[in-house]
Chains A and B, each alone.
Chain A
Amino acid sequence: MEKWKKEYDEIVVPDHTGELMEEAVRRAKETKKEPGDKKCTVISEVRQPCSQLC
């Protein structure tokens, strides 16, 4: 097991891994912030004012 542990510890982590993680975190936070009523927004865009329908 020691040999494999050594091999595991020697896995080289690319320099930009941290930046990519930060980017993923930023994307996730933005996704969370987005309002969940996108459909309503679309519907409201399509909907015509009552005055035009009547």
Chain B
Amino acid sequence: MKSVDKEALVHKYLVEYYEKYYRIAYSYVFQEQDALDIVQEGAYRAILKSDALKKPEYADTWICRIMMNEAVRFLEKNRGRTVFLEEVPEESTMDEPEDLDLRQALGKLNEEERRIVILKYFEEEKIRTIAQTLDLKESTVKSRLYRAVEKLKKYMEGGAGYGEMEKRV
């Protein structure tokens, strides 16, 4: 595929699926303006790097990965100003079952688990696609997904054994 065609393809996806990319960005920062900053910067980078797209059939997930990387970069850059997901205050104690909202639930996961959960359960991507997107083996995606779900279940059931929050990667 020629460079110009790759660029056109990435452009097409950005325009067509911008709502999806916004939701991904928002699920990291939970702030409208911050999410907008992320998707704009992500779109900018995606076009600049469109030559690096190896498999056009994975253009969408390739852009998702760029958006997620951009979100992490944004959080690192704004550390102090932005409240990290895991810093969200919790009212309940670990001895009681928790009713977590989306922000709190994602805050329980490390970066890789969060990416996998977002792509699998919220964006409903196939394991194979997620593996391609994140450059992991399918078996690795499955095991990390299982671990993430188990972690969330434990929290929902009362948090036994999960007193320590996971650190960001």
Interface assignment of A32: CB less than 8 Å from any CB of chain B = yes
**Would A13 and B19 count as touching, CB distance under 8 A?**
yes
Contact of B27 among A8, A21, A22, A32 (CB under 8 A): A8
**Would A21 and B122 count as touching, CB distance under 8 A?**
no
Q: Mark B39-66, 1 if CB is under 8 A from A, else 0.
A: 1110111111000000000000000000
Chain A residue at smallest Cβ distance from B105: A4
State whether A18 and B122 are in contact (beta carbons under 8 Å apart), knowing that A8-B102, A11-B26, A28-B47 are contacts in the complex.
no
Interface assignment of A31: CB less than 8 Å from any CB of chain B = yes
Chain B residue at smallest Cβ distance from A31: B48
Interface assignment of A14: CB less than 8 Å from any CB of chain B = yes
A5 to chain B minimum Cβ distance, whole angstroms, is: 6
By the criterion of a CB under 8 Å from any partner CB, how many residues of chain A are at the interface?
22
Contact of B15 among A5, A8, A22, A28 (CB under 8 A): A22
CB contact list, B95-153 vs A, under 8 A: 100-102, 105, 118, 121-122, 149, 152
Chain B residues with CB under 8 Å of A18's CB are: 15, 18
State whether A17 and B44 are in contact (beta carbons under 8 Å apart), knowing that A1-B149, A4-B121, A7-B101 are contacts in the complex.
no
Interface assignment of B11: CB less than 8 Å from any CB of chain A = yes
Which residue, A8, A27, A32, has most C-beta atoms of chain B within 10 A? A8
B100 to chain A minimum Cβ distance, whole angstroms, is: 8
A20 to chain B minimum Cβ distance, whole angstroms, is: 5
CB contact list, B4-54 vs A, under 8 A: 7, 11, 14-15, 18-19, 21-23, 26-27, 32, 36, 39-41, 43-48
Known pairs A11-B22, A21-B21 / 18 extra A-B pairs, C-beta < 8 Å? A4-B100, A4-B121, A4-B122, A11-B23, A14-B32, A17-B36, A18-B18, A20-B40, A21-B18, A25-B14, A25-B43, A28-B44, A28-B47, A28-B48, A29-B7, A29-B47, A31-B48, A32-B47
Residues of B within 8 A of A (CB): 7, 11, 14-15, 18-19, 21-23, 26-27, 32, 36, 39-41, 43-48, 100-102, 105, 118, 121-122, 149, 152
